[in-house]
Structure 1
Amino acid sequence: MSHSDPTPPPATTGDLDTLPGVNFEPVLALLGGDRAMLAELLGEFAAQYANLPTETASALATGDIDNLARQMHGLKGTAANLGLEALSRQAATLEAALRQGQSPAEAVAALAACLDTLLPALRAASGQANE
């Protein structure tokens, strides 16, 4: 739903709405429809989790499974709260694999693929909101 309004906020997350596995409607309802605020929150999220693939690999290499499982639990909740449903599911899958002592390789690859698609889009959306 494009508006002719000259301010950037309505367009900031519009492209993100087409990404698979995102649902911003509940988040926008909580934010009173404030897409600029959503874009800002998504930008903060992207910055916070920018190094997650490296941190995940490092934690696996050093055997820091408990900490990584806690990190995935936090990611799962934060992503869900922001409408990043696919990412939340991937974090939940990795958390479960870690807690159950299963090989995390497939879940790590799926999480990384999700992040590779999502993080650049989130950064772009927040950059547009700040221009």
Structure 2
Amino acid sequence: MAHEHKLEIFRGLVKFKSNVQKIWGVLIFLTLVTAVEVWLGIAKPEFLAKEYFLGMKRLNWVFIILTLVKAYYITWDFMHMRDEKSSLRRAVVWTPIFLVVYLVAILLMEADYIYTVFKEGFLAWNF
């Protein structure tokens, strides 16, 4: 028994007639997000590169968020998570997103600690 995949993206906002068209649509979306990331990395707008939010530049937060968007969308479309039951979708998609957010928080705390140690000086231990 064949299982038909849904031929729309963005929760039904854009609909396609075939799988080939859908693949091209997803490719264009992912290419646009990547192009925005590359442009931001080259241009480094001052309002994002100079301002800090939770101990990290806003530009870095934009990179993290766009990377999570791409990872979520790849999982959603290419792993066909939209066709699965909601419990499996949550287990597969939300667990890694939670772990990435947790990892980023830990890295930010450790990086902030190391930065303050080097900025304010440190004591040498004489044994």
Measured against the shorter chain, the TM-score band is 0.3 to 0.5
Q: TM-score, normalised by structure 2?
A: 0.36
Q: Which has the higher strand share?
A: 2
Larger Rg: 2
Report which structure shows greater RCO (CA 8 Å, sep ≥6): 1
